[in-house]
Amino acid sequence: MAESSSNLARYDGVHYGYRSPNAVDLESTYKKSRSEGFGTEVKRRILLGTFVLSAGHYDSFYGKAQQVRRLIREKTDEILRDHDFILLPTSPGPAFGLGEKTEDPVVMYLADIFTVQASLAGIPAISLPLRNNSRNLPLGIQLIGKRFGESELLAFSKYLMEVTKIQ
């Protein structure tokens, strides 16, 4: 979110894309173009990102997050020194209903709980279709591999797909 608040600063109604027709001066061009152009979730992340990067909170949020990220990366690399892959679910459940989780952003973020480890560690991970559940909704299984170990990851994925194939 910290990075997104910086990355999205460029959409100011001047450089790219939408410019509010209601703007009367430079400041209102920025404010109105961004207010009218971005959706709720994007605004939420820009605000949160800007907050955690602000002078009084930088160390307790952004600095801390960077430390945690390094720890996760180191621990994951350590596991992958002894093991070839990590096998885990891709998501806590199958596809949920439209509108079911839109009320609470935190509940929505939890849908990513099993995928963020590989993202934080910067290593490859693949989701493979396993089976469908009793309601015929697909379920995926995730394999995490070593840094730049895409070859091994893909070869083992193919093997796993073949041995789990429904006969």
Partner 1 sequence: MYLHAMEPYIPLNVLQLKIKKGKLNLTTVVEHYLRRIQEEAHLNAFIEVYEQEALDLALTVNEKIMNGTAGKLAGMVIGIKDLICYKDHGVSAGSKILENYVSIFSSTVVERMLAEDVIIIGRLNCDEFAMGGSNENSYFGPVKNYADNTKVSGGSSGGSAVAVQAGLCMAALGTDTGGSVRQPASFCGIVGLKPTYGRVSRHGIVAYASSFDQVGPLTNSVEDTALIMEVIAGHDDYDSTSSTKPVPLYSQELTFEGKNELHIYRKH
Residue 115: burial class (beta carbons within 10 Å; 0-12, 13-18, 19+): middle
Distances (CA, A) of 7 to 49, 75, 82, 122: 10, 29, 37, 19
Q: Does 125 bind partner 1 (CB under 8 A)?
A: yes
> Looking only at residues 43 through 62 of this chain, which bind partner 1 when binding is defined by CB under 8 A?
45
Helix H or strand E encompassing 36 = helix 26-37
Residue 112 touches partner 1, criterion: CB under 8 A: yes
Subset of residues 15 to 34 that bind partner 1, contact rule: CB under 8 A:
16-18, 33-34
Beta bridge partners of 131: 139
User: Does position 116 bind partner 1 by CB under 8 A?
Assistant: yes
- 148 part of the interface to partner 1, by CB under 8 A: yes
Q: Does 40 bind partner 1 (CB under 8 A)?
A: yes
Residue of the chain from 56, 103, 106, 135 that contacts partner 1 (CB under 8 A): 135
